[in-house]
């Protein structure tokens, strides 16, 4: 089925295989990111299920780039948009949750926060921090996401991934070589699901921990604004927000982008920022911190697409 919601048919769309899901031309990606900025996808593909995605990957023409996005919580899409096909796993088939004792297997398209009720209902603890990480399950592995003293690598068991040729593999932690906020995640891999190891816990204790995590974020981070979470990784043994503040970057602005007054490691879109504003502000912070400390901050936010 061809769902043409934006613009007329383009040559790239005519070259793509028939699918059961939906193709959307010139799809506005800004609404798919927490920053609320960015240009369009040449074609956005919403596969119906894993078999639909596998068939697409096997039959797509060579030379057409494929980019996967999740919930857009840790993503900056540039104003020129993304050429080729952008894949988003957004149907119920990619949001399933199954339990095997204290192990839980979760579809890559599920919002992390939507795992809360299932964990409480099944009395599985130790995974509360995942529910507090913005975004979706599939995005956790690439960045080895974490918070409140735990990371995905601490609880990861295995994942099923699909590669650029349409082959499905079961992977383990050794395949990812996890490190702080990163992994050796190949660009042509698409996570289909991930399995995590929890521990038996009382539902009321699980809920208490989740509530404490939520309250901490509400009181320390600008969660109700257009932001992508922590902008820069913490250098070894240091805190990025402190380096940013001590370099005099608090309150810095570029166009509609601004350093959050609540947390210096969060950049926010005041409503009319462009992706260029946000990226320019981030690069200016890197330069100021480097000039003062000789430390080069590294982006935690994933940047992609073409500059306008």
Q: Which residues contact 68 (CB under 8 A, 6 or more apart)?
A: 86, 87, 88, 89, 138, 190
Cβ neighbours of 227 (radius 10 Å): 24
DSSP string for residues in 77-95 = E-TT-EEEEEEE--SGGGS
Q: Are 301 and 135 in contact (CB under 8 A)?
A: no
Q: Is 181 a catalytic residue?
A: yes
Whose CA is closest to 51, among 9, 13, 17, 101? 17
Q: Is 300 a catalytic residue?
A: yes
Catalytic residue among 73, 132, 153, 230: 230
Catalytic residue among 78, 136, 142, 181: 181
Query: CA-to-CA distance for 235 and 88, rounded, in angstroms?
Result: 31
Catalytic residue among 25, 42, 279, 300: 300
What Cα–Cα distance (Å) separates residue 95 from each residue in 83, 110, 151?
27, 4, 21
Query: CA-to-CA distance for 130 and 274, rounded, in angstroms?
Result: 30
Q: Which residues contact 212 (CB under 8 A, 6 or more apart)?
A: none
Catalytic residue set: 181, 230, 300
């Amino acid at each position: 089925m061809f769902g043409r919601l934006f613009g007329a048919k383009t040559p790239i769309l005519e070259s793509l295989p028939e699918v059961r899901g939906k193709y959307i031309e010139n799809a506005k990606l800004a609404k798919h990111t927490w920053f609320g900025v960015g240009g369009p996808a040449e074609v956005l593909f919403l596969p119906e299920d894993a078999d639909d995605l596998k068939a697409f990957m096997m039959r797509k023409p060579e030379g057409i780039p494929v980019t996967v996005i999740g919930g857009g919580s840790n993503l900056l899409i540039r104003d020129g948009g993304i050429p080729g096909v952008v894949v988003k796993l957004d149907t119920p088939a990619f949001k399933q949750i199954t339990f095997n004792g204290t192990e839980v297997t979760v579809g890559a398209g599920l919002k992390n926060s939507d795992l809360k009720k299932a964990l409480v209902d099944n009395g599985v603890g130790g995974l509360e921090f995942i529910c507090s990480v913005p975004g979706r399950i599939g995005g956790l592995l690439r960045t080895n996401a974490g918070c409140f003293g735990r990371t995905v690598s601490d609880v990861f068991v295995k994942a099923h991934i699909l590669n650029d040729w349409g082959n499905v593999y079961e992977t383990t932690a050794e395949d990812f070589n996890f490190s702080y906020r990163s992994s050796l995640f190949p660009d042509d891999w698409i996570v289909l699901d991930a399995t995590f190891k929890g521990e038996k816990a009382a539902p009321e204790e699980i809920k208490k921990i989740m509530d404490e995590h939520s309250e901490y974020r509400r009181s320390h981070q600008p969660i109700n604004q257009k932001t992508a979470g922590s902008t820069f990784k913490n250098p070894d043994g240091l805190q990025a927000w402190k380096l940013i503040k001590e370099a005099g970057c608090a309150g810095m602005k570029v166009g509609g982008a601004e350093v959050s007054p609540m947390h210096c490691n969060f950049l926010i879109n005041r409503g009319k920022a462009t992706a260029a504003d946000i990226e320019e502000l981030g690069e200016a912070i890197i330069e100021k911190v480097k000039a003062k400390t000789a430390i080069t901050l590294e982006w935690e936010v994933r940047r992609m697409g073409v500059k306008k």
